[in-house]
Amino acid sequence: SLDHQLAARHGSLVSGRVVPMPEGDTLHRTAARLRPALVDQDVVAFEAPRLAGEGVPTGATVLDVRAVGKHLFVDFDTGQSLETHLGMPGSWHLARRGERWRRPRRDMRALVVVAEWEAICFLAPVVRLRRSSGPTVRPEHLGPDLCLADIDIELVLARLARFSDTETEIGSALLDQRIAAGIGNVYKCEVLAEVGVDPFAPVVSVPAQDRRRLYETAARLLRANLSTDRRVTFEGGVAVYGRAGRPCRRCGTTVEVSRQGEQNRSTWWCPQCQPISTVS
């Protein structure tokens, strides 16, 4: 089939298997795959059934497809930009004109049709049409996108201090897109494991050098997976994510899992490799 499923289904468990939700690398790969099909093409049809107000007019030209953290933008020469956030259930697909979709039409949240291709966004909880487009348009609340080169780590660390209080756990802070954009649950767990930090330690108890290493490691791993279809963070796979009850791939200790934070997200960690941090 010429249909490319550009993001996986995102439940916590599918057939007993942990399935990761889309993270920054997923969105950048999605943009890279949509871009050749859409950019410089004129819009033949546009639909966004839950979008209030006007849509993108027929004849508008697609200028760019880009990712900012976990958000994807399709920019048009009309000064409009379609923004989607996939959340847990969302995905983008690409199909040849007239080809059968992989999901029913009722799941469609946005559709951009050009001469040869149909780009379909399914089940995304957030679909917006902004009135201005271009590389400077991005969600105002997001921190630096760790998938990009030359990230200002000092800015990230300053935002970590700004958006954390004495009770904020480092695992929850890593998921806070206001601090840095792109880290999801997989990278949260894997980065904490690689740096050797207890996910439940308060941010203030994590040594400054480890805070820096966490975000530097996250940026390195995210960028390393921008051109791969199978996410790899440790020796061909993952070190701790989804491995509860199985041995840690570093030391052999049994990996544990607990819920964490206001969103009650699962956190996998190795109690041997990730001792509680203390202020240096």
- Residues serving a catalytic function are 22-23, 70, 265
Q: Are 75 and 43 in contact (CB under 8 A)?
A: no
The span from the CA of 124 to the CA of 166, in Å, is 34
Per the listing, tokens 């004129």 go with 42
The span from the CA of 215 to the CA of 116, in Å, is 41
Closest by CA to 124, choosing from 198, 73, 163, 79, is 73
Closest by CA to 7, choosing from 205, 254, 180, 184, is 184
Encoding tokens for residue 30? 């999605």
SS3 state of residue 122: strand
Encoding tokens for residue 247? 């041995």
Q: Are 201 and 169 in contact (CB under 8 A)?
A: yes
Q: Are 265 and 185 in contact (CB under 8 A)?
A: yes
SS3 state of residue 96: strand
Give the helix/strand (H/E) hosting 3.
Answer: none
